[in-house]
Amino acid sequence: MTFSTPRFAVTIVGGGFAGTALALHLTRLAGPLPLDVALVEPRAQPGPGLAYSPALPELLLNVRPRNLSVWAEEPGHFADWLARQPEAADGLPEFTSRAVYGRYLQQELAQVLARPAANGVCISHYASSAVAAPLLSDGRRAVQLESGQLLPSNATVLALGNFPPPPPTGPTSAT
Ligand SMILES: Cc1cc2nc3c(=O)[nH]c(=O)nc-3n(C[C@H](O)[C@H](O)[C@H](O)COP(=O)(O)OP(=O)(O)OC[C@H]3O[C@@H](n4cnc5c(N)ncnc54)[C@H](O)[C@@H]3O)c2cc1C
C-alpha cells in the first residue's frame, strides 16, 4: 500500500501486555493509516512482558480463558486459540498458565511484525531498552536506544509496567 501523505512515527516503549495490545489494536483501526510503529522492548520476544514470561506451568492466570481475549470484539479469541494447544488436549482448562498466555500474546504479535497490516500500519520490534527522549531540531522527540540509535517519533507511548518498589526504609528516630 502506498500513501501520498507522510508517514507518522509512533514509538511504543515497553512490549509487555499494554504495549503489545496497543500495537495489535492499531493494526485493526480503519485505514488507510500511514503509521510506522516502533515497539521498543529489551526481551528477545516481545508480548509476554513481566507477568506472562515465566516458564513454570504451575504459575496460573487468575482469570478464566473466556475473559482473556486480547481482541475486545472477539471475546472468545483466546479460548479458541487455547483449545487448539497441547495444554487443552483433555479439554479447555478452567485456568491455564501465565506462560501459555504469554505464548498467545507473542504469536498474535508475531503475525503483525511479519508483514504490514491491511490498514497500512507497519510494526517493527527493537530489542533494546529506551534510555532517553531527546528533543529534535524539528520539534519532535526521539526515543534513544541503548546503542545510541535515535527513533524520531511523532508520538511516544510509555508502556513500562510497574517499577520495582524502593528498598524498605529503616526505623526512624522520630520523637
Ligand atoms: C507476577 C504477576 C502475575 C500477574 N498475573 C496476572 C493474572 O493472572 N491476570 C491478570 O489479569 N493480570 C495479572 N498480572 C497483572 C499484569 O501485570 C497486567 O495484566 C499486565 O501484564 C501489565 O502489563 P504492562 O504492559 O503494563 O507491564 P509489563 O508486562 O511489565 O510490561 C512492561 C514492559 O516494559 C519493558 N520496559 C521497561 N522499561 C523499559 C525501557 N526503558 N525500554 C524499553 N522497554 C522497557 C519491560 O521489559 C516490560 O516487558 C500479573 C502481574 C504480575 C507482576
With bands split at pLDDT 50, 70 and 90, how would you rate the model's confidence at 173? confident
User: 78: which 3 cell numbers?
Assistant: 483466546
Q: Which atom of ligand 1 is nearest to the CA of 63?
A: 9
Q: Which helix (H) or strand (E) covers residue 123, if one does?
A: strand 122-126
Domain residue extents for the chain: 8-158
Q: Which atom of ligand 1 is nearest to the CA of 18?
A: 25
Query: Which protein residue has the closest C-alpha to ligand 1 atom 17?
Result: 51
Is the CB of 67 inside a 6 Å radius of any atom of ligand 1?
no
Per-residue pLDDT reduced to its tens digit, 27-84: 999 989 999 999 999 999 999 999 999 889 999 999 999 999 999 999 999 999 999 9
Average pLDDT (79-108) is 97
pLDDT attached to residue 175: 60
Query: Which protein residue has the closest C-alpha to ligand 1 atom 6?
Result: 61
Q: Which atom of ligand 1 is nearest to the CA of 19?
A: 25
| pLDDT above 70 for 1 | no
Question: Taking the model in full, what pTM does it have?
Answer: 0.93
60 HSE (CA, 13 A, CB side): 10
pLDDT attached to residue 129: 98
With bands split at pLDDT 50, 70 and 90, how would you rate the model's confidence at 4? low
Cα–Cα dist 27/54, whole Å: 27
With bands split at pLDDT 50, 70 and 90, how would you rate the model's confidence at 5? low
Instruction: Using DSSP, state whether 103 is helix, strand or coil.
Output: helix
User: 68: which 3 cell numbers?
Assistant: 482473556
With bands split at pLDDT 50, 70 and 90, how would you rate the model's confidence at 169? confident
Between the CA of 6 and the centroid of ligand 1 the distance, in Å, is 33
Query: Which protein residue has the closest C-alpha to ligand 1 atom 35?
Result: 14
Is the CB of 49 inside a 6 Å radius of any atom of ligand 1?
yes
Cα–Cα dist 26/31, whole Å: 10
Average pLDDT (134-139) is 94
Name the one residue in this structure whose C-alpha cell is 546503542: 147
Q: Which fold has domain 8-158?
A: FAD/NAD(P)-binding domain (3.50.50)
User: 125: which 3 cell numbers?
Assistant: 520490534
Between the CA of 17 and the centroid of ligand 1 the distance, in Å, is 6
Between the CA of 151 and the centroid of ligand 1 the distance, in Å, is 23
Q: How far is CA 161 from CA 35, 83, 132, in A?
A: 24, 29, 17
